[in-house]
A and B are shown apart, each in its own frame.
Chain A
């Protein structure tokens, strides 16, 4: 998967036509094989752009940054990124007319060791669901494979209660409350997170196991039905916590119970908690 040349062409074309102020793509780090996001403002720097299977980071995160607000942006999106973008559009966080979306028919990205990422193996939306042009000119790619239950989830769910509690206690204990997960998440765009509101009596700012439980659980529940499984959070976590477990579990519960809802798949489709159905399960309520 190498679309470097096509992306450079598209970016220079967009700059030449005056359609964008910033082009958000990837460039090489300059010292190893990995890539970093690149915010290109100068048309002469277009040659820095690359795209290979090392282009991991979800760029839609940059739409919430101050210096990209109200600018016309060209952006490279993979399948999962485009779902995030779709939700951001639905939730009125970005203006569609400010965006020029370059879609990538993604075949999966790899981690630092060159192995295909787990979420890419299970990916069901490799092709962008929203785009202005596809990088290879095709209107859309192959049919999406069916929804799969994550293997990690199955392993955890197979444990008994005591084991699960012990496992997650270790997770919460290893959390250092740096909030990198939240900041790297494209869907967390609140100017100030509710759990950081020092004015609130629910505030718990210290770094203890229970505060990590409180912060991570609240965070994952606020993202339930909106998480697009890009795993920016896991890549950002300095403690390498398996944060996807919480999100994938929520995704699965929502998929099974709420009419196969998946976040950001259709345009105008809001998160699972912003709608309801008369057929939602009721049997757990007394």
Chain B
């Protein structure tokens, strides 16, 4: 894959962001109650593209809304009429700023489940219409472990345009996909170069980008050998250790709601008088009644079984089925967990109880 690499400085980047926001339907992290969530922004000052992972919600709701209307109906004396609906603006082209690479990677993982068998067209359309601009982190946060997993963080093409902070205030801008290249053209990259806001890079640039990555990779506190852990976990279904690691869990479901890759949902009907809406909203496998059937049978009646499903679905089942690890190592669940259960620690602790 050919790469287009440009270099600019902080001021040039800010101008670039401002131009993006003024020309496109842009979503970026906006602060509310000390937490950043991706919202539509109209000015650069309102958002913070460098929001830390720990304080930022996932951008997943922009593709898979927390509650999507899948159908509307009216039923009155004249009869019943059903309307397929999704009044989210699906048509327009959108740009997302400030998405971290783990968050972007999560979408690539989700593509697999949304595109097997039945293809979710709404999701598909949102994916196609979106340009992701992502800044690579400079330093790992407390619960990050993306480099320990099965994907290439350095050359990830999950984002369309990658931004890398070099040394001496240099900022590298790199188009990683065709969509990204087209987008940079649309943003008049050539004119910016002639204005001297951007420069074409010389041959030292790739080395500088690599250097930044190495410094970033060295800053991780959490490291594990993914292949080994995956191999161990796939034999561990009956391990009593799950009961120990899940003892602390209070089944609050936060982890699933903030997770960028959790994709389980529930379908519920809401009605008022003679109109109603059918919603598809997030659900969590940590819920006691997630698998409870109407007859009263529940395949996963106790907490450790639900925990096991969550951990193994992330690290084993999805890999078996779709060839990717469902966890992307962003650490959002651990950050949000009221009792600080770390999925990294859990997986590591459990996997250490068996030998390969």
Find B57's partner among A61, A67, A239 (CB 8 Å cutoff): A239
The 8 A CB mask of A172-198 against B (1 = contact, 0 = none) is 001011111001100000001000101
Which residues of B lie under 8 Å from residue A184 when comparing CB positions?
250, 252, 338
B248→A39 contact, CB < 8 A: yes
Instruction: Tell me if B3 is interfacial: C-beta within 8 Å of chain A.
Output: no
Cβ–Cβ < 8 Å partners of B282 in chain A: 176-178, 207
Nearest CB on B from A245, distance (A): 11
Q: Which residues of B contact A235 (CB under 8 A)?
A: 338
At the interface, is chain A mostly helix, strand, loop or mixed?
A: loop
**In the assembled complex, B118 has its CB within 8 A of some CB on chain A:** no
Which one, A39, A196, A240, contacts B35 given CB within 8 A? A240
Q: Does A238 contact B (CB under 8 A)?
A: yes
- Cβ of B253 under 8 Å from chain A: yes
Selecting from B20-28, B75-83, B152-160, B339-347, the interface stretch reads B339-347
Q: Check: B268 CB closer than 8 A to any chain A CB.
A: yes
**Among A32, A205, A206, which residue has its beta carbon within 8 angstroms of that of B142?**
A32
A207 and B252 form a contact (CB under 8 A): no
Minimal beta-carbon separation of A206 from chain B (angstroms): 4
List chain A residues, Cβ under 8 A from B243.
Answer: 67
Q: Are B67 and A208 in contact (CB under 8 A)?
A: yes
A34 at the interface (CB under 8 A from B): yes
The answer to whether B268 touches A205 (Cβ under 8 A) is yes
A65-B303 contact in complex given A207-B281, A239-B33, A239-B35, C-beta closer than 8 Å: yes
The residue that B338 contacts in the complex, of A65, A180, A198, A211, with Cβ under 8 A, is A180
User: Which B residues between 3 and 54 are near A, CB-CB below 8 angstroms?
Assistant: 32-35, 37
Check: B336 CB closer than 8 A to any chain A CB: yes
Instruction: Give the complex CA separation of A208 and B268 in angstroms.
Output: 13
The answer to whether residues A205 and B66 also contact, given A198-B268, A239-B35 and a CB cut-off of 8 A, is: no
Q: Is the CB of B253 within 8 A of A180?
A: yes
> If A31-B221, A170-B32, A239-B33 touch, does A183 touch B250 (CB 8 Å cutoff)?
yes
Q: How far is the CA of A180 from the CA of B249 in the complex (A)?
A: 12
B247 sits at the interface (CB 8 A): yes
Q: Which of A215-272 contact B (CB under 8 A)?
A: 232, 235-236, 238-242
A177 touches B338 (CB 8 A): no
Mask for B248-260, Cβ within 8 A of A = 1, else 0? 1011111011100
Q: How far is the CB of A35 from the nearest CB of chain B, in Å?
A: 8
Q: Given the complex of chains A and B, what is the CA–CA distance between A29 and B41 in angstroms?
A: 37
The answer for the CA separation of A240 and B270 in the assembled complex, in Å, is: 28
Contacts of A168 in B (CB 8 A): none
Q: Closest CB of chain A to B25's CB: distance in Å?
A: 19
Name which residue of chain A comes closest to B341, CB basis: A36
Tell me, in angstroms, the Cα distance from A283 to B221 when the chains sit together.
Answer: 62
Partner of B257, one of A39, A61, A66, A176: A176
Which residues of A are found within 8 Å of B268, using beta-carbon distances? 198, 203, 205-206
Task: Judge whether A240 and B34 touch: CB under 8 Å.
Answer: yes
Contacts of A179 in B (CB 8 A): 252-253
* Contact-size category for B: 35 or more
Q: State which size class the interface on A falls in.
A: 35 or more
**Closest partner residue, chain A, to B243 (CB atom):** A67
Instruction: Let me know if A57 is at the binding interface, CB within 8 A.
Output: yes
Report if A30 contacts B (CB, 8 A). Answer: yes
Given A30, A31, A176, A242, which contacts B66 in the complex, CB threshold below 8 Å? A176
Among A24-53, those with CB < 8 Å from B are 29-32, 34-39
- Pairwise interchain contact A39-B270, C-beta atoms closer than 8 A: no
Does chain B have a CB within 8 A of A107? no
The complex places the Cα of A36 from the Cα of B340 at a distance, in Å, of 6
Contact at B339–A37, with CB atoms within 8 Å?
A: yes
Chain B residue at minimum C-beta to C-beta distance from A198: B268
Contact of B258 among A183, A206, A208, A238 (CB under 8 A): A238
- Residue pair A207, B66 in contact (C-beta under 8 Å): yes
Tell which of B32, B252, B277, B281 touches A174, judged by Cβ atoms closer than 8 Å: B32
- Known contacts A32-B142, A179-B253, A241-B33: does B270 contact A236 (CB below 8 Å)? no
Which of B336, B341, B345 has most A Cβ within 10 Å?
B336
Rounded to whole angstroms, the CA-CA distance of A185 and B338 in the bound complex is: 11
Shortest distance between the CB of A267 and any CB in chain B (Å): 26
Known: A66-B302, A177-B281. A36 touches B250 (CB 8 A): no
Nearest 9 A/B pairs, CB to CB: A236-B338, A206-B279, A178-B257, A183-B252, A180-B252, A205-B268, A207-B67, A206-B67, A238-B336
New A-B contacts (18) at CB < 8 Å, excluding given A32-B142, A206-B281, A238-B257: A30-B345, A31-B342, A31-B345, A57-B339, A61-B250, A65-B250, A174-B35, A176-B282, A177-B67, A177-B257, A180-B252, A180-B257, A180-B336, A183-B250, A184-B250, A206-B67, A236-B252, A240-B33
30 A-B pairs with C-beta separation under 8 A: A29-B342, A30-B345, A31-B142, A34-B340, A35-B340, A36-B248, A36-B339, A37-B339, A39-B247, A67-B302, A174-B33, A177-B282, A178-B253, A178-B254, A178-B256, A179-B252, A180-B252, A180-B257, A183-B253, A184-B250, A192-B289, A203-B268, A205-B268, A206-B270, A206-B281, A236-B252, A236-B338, A238-B35, A239-B33, A241-B33
Interface residues of A (CB under 8 A from B): 29-32, 34-39, 57, 61-62, 65-67, 170-171, 174, 176-180, 183-184, 192, 196, 198, 203-208, 211, 232, 235-236, 238-242
